[in-house]
Homo-oligomer: A and B are copies of this chain.
Amino acid sequence: MAKRTRVTRPKAARIADVAQLAGVSVATVSRTLARPEVVIEETRLRVLAAVRDTGYMPNISARNLRVRKTMVVLVAVPDIANPFFAEVLQGIDDTLSAADYGLIIANLAGSPGKEARYVDLVCAGQADGVLLLCGHVMRSPDRDLRDARVPLVAACEYIPGEKFPQITIDNVDTAREAVGHLIKLGHTNIAYLSGPKSNILEQQRLEGYRQALREAGIAADAGLILRGDFTFRAGVEAGRALLALEPVARPTALFAANDEMAIGLIKTVHTAGLQIPDDLSVVGFDGIAYADYCEPTLTTIVQPRRDLGATAAAELISLMTNGRAGPRKDIKLPATLMLRDSTRAPRRSPS
């Protein structure tokens, strides 16, 4: 005599179950949930009660199939463990979830096969748009993100020759400012610790370094360019290289293409007895949280990380909703030089 329909319910409730319980059609249930104002109060209350009683949740796959949208965007990140990207992601996440979009994070670090899987995912209609933080348009063996017919937006790393919007900072200009700061302090013997040659950010920051020297009438010295790859370890190696030089031959200042290398370098030369900033001034790039934690604190270019993410996300949302959006495609955000304890005028007078 038990009410068997209620007692045994192994599976999740469907819209038809709600409709039956409320004594209305499925269309009415759907409308009640999507546009409550079009059903009269009495029905609405009956439906909502039935929704509560059944614990109904619309099946998202079914909805996506029908409306041909997913309300999801994919974000391609070179390495999620990199604190810089973690903060950009925060900005993206905030903006996207405020607009009721979900977020799939494609962490490209690790096995290279991942990239292809994510491309296929998007091509299979599992995302309405893609945010590229990774400096290139992703591809799978026989497909390309552009085949996916969804809007793309790039941020952080500029991708030359593409027609979608790109949200970046002006790396050339900002690097020039960083090196200009060292020059204003009186340094003329300024080294550069580079990123990987093929990386666009590296190329731009190097260009900024060169421009600053040129403007100050300082001759570029290829021997002052140390090769790195953006990792802490590369900073350590570069530090060792500096220590191996005769003290008089050492530069009095160094501009690192990112903070992690700067910190690795500082740590190494500091342990070996060099004083920072007295013996060597160091400027970094990025403004990661650790730049303010280390000893001494690091003078660096602070990128507007959250803002980069938020702006890129906003741009993508506008593309996804308006089809084609406004006229301006490339947006440059301001980055600022943050003066801290790792820079000072050179101790020995130059030359």
CB distance from A86 to the nearest CB of B (A): 4
Chain A contact patch, size range: 35 or more
Which of A142-150, A189-197, A243-251 makes up part of the contact surface? A142-150
A87 at the interface (CB under 8 A from B): yes
Decide if B59 touches A65 in the complex (CB within 8 Å). yes
Contacts A105-B105, A267-B293 hold; do A124 and B86 have CB atoms under 8 A apart?
no
In the complex, chain B residues whose CB is within 8 Å of the CB of A185 = none
In the assembly, what is the distance between CA of A93 and CA of B111, in Å?
10
CB distance from A132 to the nearest CB of B (A): 17
In the assembly, what is the distance between CA of A143 and CA of B12, in Å?
13
A114 at the interface (CB under 8 A from B): yes
In the complex, chain B residues whose CB is within 8 Å of the CB of A110 = 90, 93-94
Contacts A87-B81, A90-B109 hold; do A59 and B125 have CB atoms under 8 A apart?
yes
- Copies of the polypeptide in the assembly: 2
In the complex, chain B residues whose CB is within 8 Å of the CB of A94 = 110-111
Decide if B232 touches A293 in the complex (CB within 8 Å). yes
Contacts A12-B125, A52-B142 hold; do A104 and B107 have CB atoms under 8 A apart?
no
Decide if A60 touches B147 in the complex (CB within 8 Å). no
In the assembly, what is the distance between CA of A80 and CA of B80, in Å?
8
Nearest 10 Cβ contacts at the A-B interface: A81-B86, A61-B64, A61-B65, A57-B124, A60-B124, A57-B123, A61-B61, A105-B105, A60-B126, A62-B65
Contacts A12-B125, A81-B89 supplied; 4 other A-B pairs, CB < 8 Å: A61-B125, A89-B107, A103-B104, A267-B295
